[in-house]
Each structure stands twice: as structure tokens, then as C-alpha cells.
Amino acid sequence: MEKLDAKDRIKKLRKEIAHLREAYHVKNDPNVTDDIYDSLNKELKILLEKYPEFNDINSFENRIAGKPLDKFLKVKHKIRMLSLNDVFNEQELYDWEKRIKKLWRSDLHSCNYFCEVKFDGLAISLIYKNGKFFQGSTRGDGEIGEDITENLKMIKNIPLYIGQGFSQDIGQGLTLSDLPETLPEYLEVRGEIIMHKDTLLALNKKRKEQGEVLFANTRN
């Protein structure tokens, strides 16, 4: 592909992906599959690696997808909530390792990996004050999220109080029973909200019977 053709293709890809991101993250109305979305992003990434002169620090690919919805109150995160990048082959993983090692001390030459399944859910921040659940919010754009406190109170795995003597199974074999006797005045817990696929199927069945628009995936 010639340089000018690549420039035009990058421009078209940015426009199309921006449109898809708007539909997916803001309007909750995705119109293509995740495979198509990932394929477009991968093509854009490859072209920008080949033609770095077309990189734009203000372009959407350098930002976290999504933005706070107007119907929710805005919440500014004390510490930015980051998103995960993906890789498509071993070389991209090795390139990531090289970047990480540059951030380490010079005397560190090896690293170990801890891997876990990535759930495609909703990243959240839970704020506890003196052990009591105070506020919950989404990641949003990383800097500002949406206040969904009342929605989160409906999830039984999220404790409303984690004071002395508290013990609760929070799934995946984890518990919150090893808390210190004196909790900090301010505590932030970050995690991921997920919906099982069978729950999505049951929900869509009910929505179909009621003539409502079906959800494309559990994130919606």
C-alpha cells in the first residue's frame, strides 16, 4: 500500500471505528460483531506501526472507549482508571515486555507472568468510607465516570458494609474476611461486573416477548 493510500485508509478506519465506539459504548446499540470491530482496530494498528507519521496523540485510539452518559451524575476518579490493551501474536507480547522492562530498575533482567481470564464486563470503582459503601461509579473515559451507586446496591456480591467481623464470599473462591480490625477512613476497591451468558439469554427472551430491543451482548 502506497503512503497516500495508507493515509486515506487510516482516515476511513478512524471514522468507522469512532462511529462503532459511539454506538457500542454510548448508545448501547452495537451494529456489528466484536470480531469485525477487533479486525478494524487491528488493521488501524498495523497501518500506524508501518506509517508512524500518521499517529495523532489526540485521536480516539489513544483514549479509553466510551464517555459518561448525561443521565448519570459525573464522578471524577482520584486516580485514573486504565483500560487493557490487547495483543494478537507472540511478538506483540514480547514488545510489551520490552516496554515494561524499560520502566524497571536496571538490575532487573527477568520477569514472571501471572495470567487470568479477562472478563468482558463493566469496570467499576467502589468507595467505602469507614467501612460503609459510599459511592460506586463506572470507568467512563478513565478520568470521569458515571455514578451508579443505587444500581450497584442491587448486586448481592457487593457488600454495603465491611466493618470489623465482616466475612462474605465474593465469588471465584475469594472472601473479604481478612480485613484489618481498623479500616481506613477512605477505601477504594476496583473490579469488574459481569453477567453470565445464560442470564443474558433469559433476559433477551423476556424482552423479545415484550417486543423490546434485544441486547447484543452482556455489556449492554
Q: Degrees (nearest 5) of the Cα angle 216, 217, 220?
A: 90
Catalytic residue among 71, 76, 102, 118: 118
What H or E segment, with its residue span, contains residue 171?
A: none
Task: Give the separation between CA 51 and CA 5, rounded to whole angstroms.
Answer: 11
Task: Give the separation between CA 40 and CA 16, rounded to whole angstroms.
Answer: 8
Query: Is 153 noted as a catalytic residue in this protein?
Result: no
Other CB atoms within a 10 A radius of the CB of residue 24 amount to: 21
Beta strand extents in 104-208 (DSSP E only): 122-129, 132-138, 144-146, 186-193
Which residues are annotated as catalytic?
118
